[in-house]
């Protein structure tokens, strides 16, 4: 008789206990196939507001057996492209349905809760790829800003100052609690050399029409989105966060909300992982 697998697409941050998120959706792209059909309640340019249901999409995959339906769904989820201010459950679900407990049909109603309690995260880009792409994103942004200033000096008949170099840059990135200092040299308009400690790599970058980057020809498509906690970058279909350097004197929330009350008086000592405010 065959098998059917259904997946709900929600605007929840699976890496943060499935906390609901809201915001604008810059791009939403999904194509039906002979084995997978789906629909979405929003489209590119739309958004999810704070009073919306977190589910905004539904996918269905079929197969002659359960295993083939799972394989079809994995392929479909990897082809779903959702880019914007919201976080989604797509990456987490893709990883989850490939877990042996799910493929072997050995899961139960409390299985997802146990994964959340164990802080199981969605698959992320390898750290060095995140560092390379993050550094290139920031360097290209600096090149654009400095180029405008550089031309401004020339139009005034003035010699641009040495600080407006368009060839040498240094970027500091915080990823997964680790800080990386990357030196970047611009060798041509689209060619860069990156150095980290004693290692170096060359990369060719092209700017796409939607503002994204194509790194090394057909290798990686990169997009970014600024958040309160840093820069969220999407490399192909995987995401990671380049965090801002933390300031312990500031209270910063990762999602919109209202400050209800402080749990500790001003000037108190705060222990590791101790709650100090309620949102």
- The CATH number for 182's domain is 3.30.700
Is pLDDT of 217 > 70? no
Which structural domain, as residue segments, surrounds residue 231? 127-243
10 and 64 belong to one structural domain: yes
98 and 22 belong to one structural domain: yes
The answer to the question of residue 233 being in a domain is yes
The answer to the question of residue 251 being in a domain is no
107 and 142 belong to one structural domain: no
pLDDT in tens, 93-139: 999 999 999 998 888 888 888 888 888 888 888 899 999 999 999 99
Of the ranges 87-101, 115-129, 230-244, 259-273, which is most confident? 87-101
The answer to the question of residue 204 being in a domain is yes
165 and 62 belong to one structural domain: no
The answer to the question of residue 238 being in a domain is yes
pLDDT of residue 166: 86
Give buried/exposed letters for 107-123 (b at 16+ CB in 10 A, else e): beeeeeeebeeeeeebe
Number of domains in the chain: 2
The answer to the question of residue 250 being in a domain is no
Distance CA 215, CA 199 (A): 19
Torsion of CA 143, 149, 150, 152, to 10 degrees: 150
Query: How big is the CA angle at 17 (ends 16 and 22), to the nearest 5 degrees?
Result: 65
151 and 205 belong to one structural domain: yes
The answer to the question of residue 266 being in a domain is no
pLDDT in tens, 166-189: 889 999 999 988 999 999 999 988
Q: Which of 117, 141, 173 is the last residue of a domain?
A: 117
The answer to the question of residue 278 being in a domain is no
179 and 228 belong to one structural domain: yes
The answer to the question of residue 260 being in a domain is no
How large is the average pLDDT for residues 29-35?
91
8 Å CB contact between 218 and 122: no
Q: Which of 66, 96, 117 is the last residue of a domain?
A: 117
pLDDT of residue 256: 66
Q: Which of 66, 85, 117 is the last residue of a domain?
A: 117
């Amino acid at each position: 008789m065959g098998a059917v697998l259904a997946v709900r697409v929600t605007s929840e941050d699976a890496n943060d206990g499935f906390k609901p998120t809201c915001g604008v959706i810059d791009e939403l792209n999904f194509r039906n196939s002979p084995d997978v059909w789906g629909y979405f309640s929003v489209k590119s340019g739309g958004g999810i507001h704070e009073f919306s249901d977190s589910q905004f999409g539904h996918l269905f995959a079929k197969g002659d057996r359960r295993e083939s339906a799972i394989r079809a769904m994995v392929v479909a989820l990897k082809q779903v492209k959702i880019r914007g201010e919201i976080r989604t459950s797509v990456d987490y679900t893709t990883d989850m349905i490939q877990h042996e407990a799910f493929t072997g049909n050995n899961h139960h109603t409390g299985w997802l809760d146990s994964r959340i309690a164990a802080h199981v995260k969605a698959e992320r880009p390898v750290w060095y790829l995140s560092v390379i792409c993050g550094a290139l994103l920031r360097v290209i942004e600096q090149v654009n800003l400095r180029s405008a200033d550089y031309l401004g000096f020339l139009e005034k008949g003035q010699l641009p100052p040495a600080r407006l170099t368009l060839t040498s840059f240094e970027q500091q990135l915080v990823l997964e609690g680790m800080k990386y200092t990357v030196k970047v040299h611009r060798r041509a308009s689209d060619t860069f050399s990156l150095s980290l400690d004693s290692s170096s790599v060359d990369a060719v970058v092209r700017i796409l029409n939607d503002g994204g980057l194509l790194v090394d020809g057909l290798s990686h498509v990169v997009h970014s989105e600024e958040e309160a906690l840093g820069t969220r970058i999407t490399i192909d279909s995987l995401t990671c966060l380049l965090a801002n350097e933390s300031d312990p004197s500031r209270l910063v929330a990762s999602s919109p909300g209202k400050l209800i009350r402080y749990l500790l008086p001003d000037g108190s000592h705060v222990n590791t992982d101790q709650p100090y405010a309620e949102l």
